[in-house]
Amino acid sequence: MIEFVNVTKHYPGRRHVLREVTLRLGQGEMALLTGPSGSGKSTLLKLLTRLEDVSHGTLMVGGVDLAMLRRRHIPADRRRIGVVFQDHKLLMDRDIFSNVALTLQVAGVSGRQVESRVRAALDRVGLGERWREFPETLSGGEQQRVGIARAIVHTPEILLADEPTGNLDPALSTEILDLFRDFHHHGTTVLVATHDQAQVERLGMPVLHLEHGRLMVPKELS
């Protein structure tokens, strides 16, 4: 599903952010991406959504070489992926329903289907009754749940999360990461970047550890 082969990312005039990263994450697998700040976790996720381009090496997602993907096909490719951000990236002037519906609207899903699918996604993250509220009335954990609902409402093949529990207390972090594990159990390929060591140990998932742009891959993913 996701395959990095000797992927390097560097910016002109700056040090290498990723160095010859090689890993393979099969369909329905889940892994945790760990490492200190600045180790390249966010950059690795950005490569998967083509927010950044690979400098060297090959990156395949769902059998597609992202370097060969034409620019106009990037939006369609992004619709195969759900992304959850540390800062939620919610539209504060839109209600919860509209925030989650955005993912379906950009995909051209018709109005009636949008409503049922958004309600189902919000039910899955435990916010089914609060769809008319605005994000500012929600707690940090609830806002993150809205972000997750937006990421999974179109049932993506791949779910990426960049420090989704970064601003949450341990109890909420557990709830959120359990949600990701639940999606993994339903067949979604999940890659979660986190530096929460306690949660990493609790989940017992394969760990990809980044250190200065180099990846330490567990045997089962190499």
Partner 1 sequence: MNLHARTLALRNARDTLLRQPAATVLTILALSVVLALPVGLFTVLGNLQNLLGHWRNQAQISLYLHRNAGPVAVARLRARLERSPGVVGVRYVGQTEALAEFQHYSGMMAAIRTLGENPLPASLIVELNPLAQSPQILEASVQRWSRDPAVASAQSDLQWVARLQAIVSLGTRAVWALAFLLALGAVLVMGNTIRLHIAQRRDEIDISALVGATRSFIRRPFLYQGLIQGVLAGVLAWLIVMAAIWYLQGPVNRLAALYGTRFPLVSLTPGQGMALVALSAFLGWLGSRIAVGRRLDNTFS
Give residues in contact with partner 1 (CB under 8 A): 49, 51, 71-72, 74-79, 83, 89, 91, 102-103, 105-108, 110-111, 150
Of the candidates 84, 82, 81, 87, the residue with the CA atom closest to the CA atom of residue 66: 81
Q: Quote the least distance from Cβ 144 to partner 1, whole Å.
A: 15
In the bound state with partner 1, the residue whose beta carbon lies nearer, of 15 and 71, is 71
Q: Quote the least distance from Cβ 11 to partner 1, whole Å.
A: 14
Number of helices (H), then strands (E), belonging to the chain: the values are: 7, 10
User: Which 3 state secondary structure label does DSSP give 178?
Assistant: helix
Alpha carbon distances (Å) from 67 to 39, 46, 49, 56, 110? 23, 13, 12, 10, 32
In the bound state with partner 1, the residue whose beta carbon lies nearer, of 44 and 205, is 44
In the bound state with partner 1, the residue whose beta carbon lies nearer, of 112 and 219, is 112
In the bound state with partner 1, the residue whose beta carbon lies nearer, of 22 and 49, is 49
Instruction: Name, in order, each residue with C-beta under 8 angstroms of 108's C-beta and a sequence gap of 6 or more.
Output: none
Tokens of 165: 């529990």
Q: Quote the least distance from Cβ 39 to partner 1, whole Å.
A: 22
Residues 50-80 as b/e (b if ≥16 CB within 10 A, e otherwise) read bebebeebebbbeeeebeebeeeeeeebbbe
Give the H/E segment covering residue 206.
none
Q: Quote the least distance from Cβ 164 to partner 1, whole Å.
A: 15
In the bound state with partner 1, the residue whose beta carbon lies nearer, of 94 and 209, is 94
Q: Quote the least distance from Cβ 146 to partner 1, whole Å.
A: 12
Residue type, 38: G
